[in-house]
Each structure stands twice: as C-alpha cells, then as structure tokens.
Structure 1
Amino acid sequence: MSGAVWGRAEQQDFRSRVRGCLLGGAIGDALGAGVESDSLAAIRQAHGENGVTGYVPAYGRRGAVTDDTQMTLFTAEGLIRAQVRRDAGAWHPPTDVHRAYLRWAATQNAWGPDERRKDTGWLAREEWLYARRAPGRACLTGLGDERMGTLGSPKNPRSKDCGTVMRSAPFGLLVGWEPHLVFQLAAECAAQTHGHPTGVLAAGAFAVIVHGLARGEALDGAVQHALALIAARPGHEETSAALQAALGAVRQGLPGAERVESLGAGRTAEEALAVGVYCALVAEDVRHGLLLAVNHSGDSDSTGSICGNLLGVQHGETALPPAWIAELEGRGTILELADDFAMETTQGPALHGPGGTSAAWLERYPVD
C-alpha cells in the first residue's frame, strides 16, 4: 500500500491485524512465562494432564509478559520513528531500531524513566517496562555499548538463540514494503545482537511470514515464500530445515505436545520459529494454538509469543480470547502502540508531511 490511498475498510482491517499481532504475541508470551524451561512432565504434574490452560503466576502476577514482548514493543516504536525521521532527511531504519533497542536496554538497568530526557519518546516513559524478565544474554551484551552490530560486523557472531525471532514480528507489519526489503531489515536488526547466520535468517524469515499474513496470504503460502527468500542465503540450511520440518509435522497426525517437541525446545532461533509456525498451522482456533505452543519442555514464552504474533496478525484482535486480553499486563500500552503503528502506516503524511506536522506526534516520536 506504499504511496496508495487507504480506504476506511482497509485501515480498519490493518489496525485489527496490528493489534492482533502485538496483543497475540504478548498473550502467548504471558501464557508461557510461568512454565518457561519446565519439562513437559513437570508442567503436567503441576497443572494437570492438559498442562496450563490459562495464565499461571509469573513475576508476581498472572498475565505477566517477558523480555519477548518488551523488545517487540521497542521494535515497533523504532519503526514508527524511522518513518517520522524520513521526512527530516534521515533514512536509515536499522539505526532507528538500534536506538529503540538501546532504550529497551536502559529499562533493564534503570529503576525507572529519566523524566529529564525529552528525546526518549513516550514508550520509554512507561514505568511498567522497567523490569527484568529473563532477558537473553546476547541481547544484553549486544546492546551493552553504543556500537551497532551489522551484517558485516555483527555482535555475538556465534549466537543464534531465539532472541532475534521473538522480537521481529513488527518488521512484517511494514505492508507497503516488498518482502525482500522486510527480510533485509529484520536480518540487519537481528545482527545487532546475534551474528550467527541462523539467528539472522530465522528473524528475517519470521518477518516475511508475518508480512504475508498481514497482506492476507495463507500461512502455508507465507512460509513457502520465506523459504524461497532464504534459499540463496549462505548458512540458510538450519532455518530451511526447521521450517520444512514444521510443514512436514502438519501431515504426521493429530497435533500434541510430543509432536511439538519433535521440532526442538525452542531455545534456538530456528527451533522457536518452527514450533511457533507449526502450532499456528494446526491451530483449531487461537486458544488451541497458543496452548499447544506453550505446553512443552523448552522456551515456552518465546514459542507462545511467536505463535501468538502469527495467529493474531492472521485473524485480527477479535479472534483473541477476551479473558486473556483482560488480564494481560501492559494491555493499554500495547494497544496504544499498535494503534500508533497503524496510524503512522496508513495516515503518516497527515501527521508529518507537506500538509502539516502534528507537534503532539513529534513529541511522542521525536526525531532527535
């Protein structure tokens, strides 16, 4: 839709998909937060044969999210600011996303927002985000100084944990971009913390899958498109094999925890992507898919988050279980950011363009 005029129905559909993507990811994250790294046997012993069937306490409450949701929100905020900065003559989205990730890193070390700073924008002033929720080591070390990792000189070149994939859904919401550009941006931003080819390519593949769903494609078709895009990339073999395994598992019988575990524990980027994709492919509805994605021995919050991003962008916010939305930590912030992302995408020129500039918008998303 880049450069096109959005009709009202198109705007409403897109906003519902953005809300669904961000809320769905956060719900999946929160469902898995209380059982992350628990074995399937331990989950069933503690919660019954069906495992968790809703939120369980984590970080002192039900519905708490982890670093997966935190970083996803800062990805979305960085992309909004990149669009705003383009009108100021500065156009390098990886830099804007990197600055957003540095703002996230500050929330992991500070007690609360620095009210004296005016360049942080509104998201970094949300006090509830100032909480450590088991952030990955590579994310923390990759953002431990000001130097931005690049594809040519990445941070943590041997790391391929799932920290790249779990934060990359917002790249796929750039529906006006061509898929190969979405892939490239997600890959470049993954290299800011994880330099292993699998960590980079899995993030790019996930973004392309989300992008296809946001444009109305079927999930299996979006996965095939991602496979085609990464096939020519050096080091694609692990990511390609994982996605092929997810597609193959759909044809192997009824879904269950054991079949999910055959795809891996979800701690590495390609395994988390495979589990999230598989659970979204076989989901009878959002509830079924998300519970399947978190009831296994492994990184339950990340696989739940990835599955939730996919199901949410595919079906929109109204497909999400209302009771889970009601109890979700940070719901108001997530909705506010989702609506801002949708508005920037569909009506950006009215906020900062030749026709005038909204001072309130520039205060929310400053160009400095």
Structure 2
Amino acid sequence: MDDMLDKYRGSLVGGAVGDALGYAVEFCSERQIFSEYGENGITEYALKNGKALISDDTQMTMFTATALLDGITRGKLRGIMGDFSTYMAFEYQGWYLTQTANYPVDIEENYAKYSWVMNLPEMFSHRAPGNTCLSVLAAGGKGTIEKPINNSKGCGGIMRVAPIGLYFSEGKMDIASIDKIGAECAAITHGHELGYIPAAALVHMVSLLSHNNDITLLEAVTSSVRTMQQIFNRARYIDDFVELIELAVKLSQSGGSDLDNIHKLGEGWVAEETLAIA
C-alpha cells in the first residue's frame, strides 16, 4: 500500500513541481526563454515572495481529485451517485469562482458551486487559464462527448485528468471505462475529438503505470493507442492522433535532441501535441 501511495503522491506532487517550474515561462517564446535563462532554458524556480507558483493546471487537477471524492463519498454514504463528469462539472464551477472572486466567498450565496477545496485561501490565486475553460464555465455549461459544447482542442482538458488514472485501476473497472471517464472530464469544456481523446489516452497510461510494477512506459503508450483506436473507432480524427503519438515514440528512440524532436511534434497548445511532447 505504501508503494501505491508513493506513486500517487509522486504523480500529483511531481505534476505540481513541473508546473511550478514552467509557469514562469508559460507564455514566453523559445527565443525569450533562452535569452533570459541560457542555452538550457529554465532550470531553477522563478520565485515570487520566496515561492514557486503553480498554474491553473495544478489548481484544476486538485478540483478533479476532489470531484472523484465527491462522487465516491456520496455513493458510499447514500448508495446512489451520478456519473463522475457531473461531480467534475460541479467542482470546476468552484474553481471558476477562485479565478473570478476573492477569498472567502459567501457559502450560502454560492452553495451550488461551493467545494471544500475553496476553504484553502491559496486556491484563490488568479492565474492565466485558457479562454475556453473560462467561457464555458462562466456560462455554466457542461459539454459531453455526445453533445460537444464547442470545437476546442486546447490543452485545458488534458492537463487536469491525472487523478482519474490514479484512482481507478483495472481491478475496479475495465480500462476502457476508466479512459472514458477521462474523455468525459475533458469534454466538459473541450468539445473537439482531439480535445478529449488525448485526455483518455493519458488516463490510460497513468492508470497502468501507477497500478503495475512490471509495465514499461512504452508498453503503456502502445496499450493506450490501441485502446483509443477501439473506443473511438468512429472518430474523425483518431488517425491523426495515432500518427502523432507514434511519431513521438519514434522520435524518443531516434537519439535526436529533445528540442529538435519537440519542434517536429508542435508547440503544445493543443491537447494531442501536449501529450505527444510529454
């Protein structure tokens, strides 16, 4: 059990650590980064008042984890619960308040949006989230795979889904169902196929790698691609997704420099490029 908890902490804390390192240069060009930080790019934290700041990516990851606890707790205590995307959509409304209001918010006035994570003053740190997440949540919307809310494939959907792969394993449900929860989570705000398929693929990899000691990263990626082809066999852009991930695997084995390889995969602003680069 300790080994499992270590993996969970490693994923969540590791994600936050990387996010805090990169947040300082999130909107900088490659030229700006090398000019300011040297040929190796940013390698140390850019501190603000002695702290390395996380972005909305880590914030929303925490709200995703909380949504899972919401649903599971209700199911255990009351014997009935909705689908997980319902709880995620609720939690993201709470996150939206942390970006548009100040701590503390009026609980009674915002009861329909209030999450216990909002008891943490640090969550009310206004960052620079994508317009897609903000506009969808401002309208109170809840997109689904069947009823897309827009045609966005930005990275705002994939960056928050890791807790799903951590919580669920094949011992609890079949892997395709776990992946589908990841897709539905991203589809709340990102309606393009390539906005939610990469999220499902990441959940697949995280689930396999966090619950098995005898699987390699390459095996997890290969399994993920194969399962996406099965789940989304009618998706218009599934071949584009597969091609890009297979290119990423090929480049990872080529011996080329990371920077050159990244240039061949994209800039990471859209979900499929985000996953391929990672």
The alignment status of 1:29 with 2:31, answered yes or no, reads no
The alignment status of 1:64 with 2:66, answered yes or no, reads no
Amino acid aligned to 1:164: G
For CA contacts below 8 A with separation 6 or more, give which structure has more relative contact order: 1
Amino acid aligned to 1:82: G
Uncovered stretches (5+) of structure 2, i.e. residues with no partner: none
Q: 1:351 corresponds to which residue?
A: none
1:131-280 to structure 2, matched below 5 A, reads: 131-156=125-150, 158-173=151-166, 174-175=168-169, 176-216=172-212, 217-232=215-230, 233=232, 234=235, 235-276=237-278
Q: 3-state DSSP class of the match of 1:262?
A: helix
Q: 1:344 corresponds to which residue?
A: none
Q: What's the Cα RMSD here?
A: 1.7
C-alpha deviations, 1:210-261, integer Å up to 9, x for none? Answer: 1111122321111111101111411212321221111011121143322222
Conservation of the 8 A alpha-carbon contact between 1:205 and 1:230? yes
With 136-145 and 60-69 compared, the bigger mean Cα shift is at 60-69
Amino acid aligned to 1:27: V
Q: Distance in 2 between matches of 1:147 and 1:163?
A: 15
Q: Distance in 2 between matches of 1:162 and 1:143?
A: 16
Q: 3-state DSSP class of the match of 2:90?
A: helix
Amino acid aligned to 1:33: Y
Shift of 1:184: 0.7
1:1-368 to structure 2, matched below 5 A, reads: 11-57=1-47, 62-87=51-76, 88=78, 89-114=80-105, 116-117=107-108, 120-156=114-150, 158-173=151-166, 174-175=168-169, 176-216=172-212, 217-232=215-230, 233=232, 234=235, 235-276=237-278
Amino acid aligned to 1:64: L
Q: 3-state DSSP class of the match of 2:101?
A: coil
With 237-246 and 194-203 compared, the bigger mean Cα shift is at 237-246
C-alpha deviations, 1:111-158, integer Å up to 9, x for none? Answer: 1132644783431211111122110111111212333211121222x1
Q: Distance in 2 between matches of 1:12 and 1:130?
A: 32
Conservation of the 8 A alpha-carbon contact between 1:113 and 1:126? no
User: How many corresponding residue pairs?
Assistant: 264
Q: Could you tell me the TM-score, scaled by structure 1's length?
A: 0.68
With 142-151 and 97-106 compared, the bigger mean Cα shift is at 142-151
Q: Could you tell me the TM-score, scaled by structure 2's length?
A: 0.89
Amino acid aligned to 1:238: D
Amino acid aligned to 1:38: C
Conservation of the 8 A alpha-carbon contact between 1:212 and 1:218? no
Identity of aligned pairs, percent?
A: 34
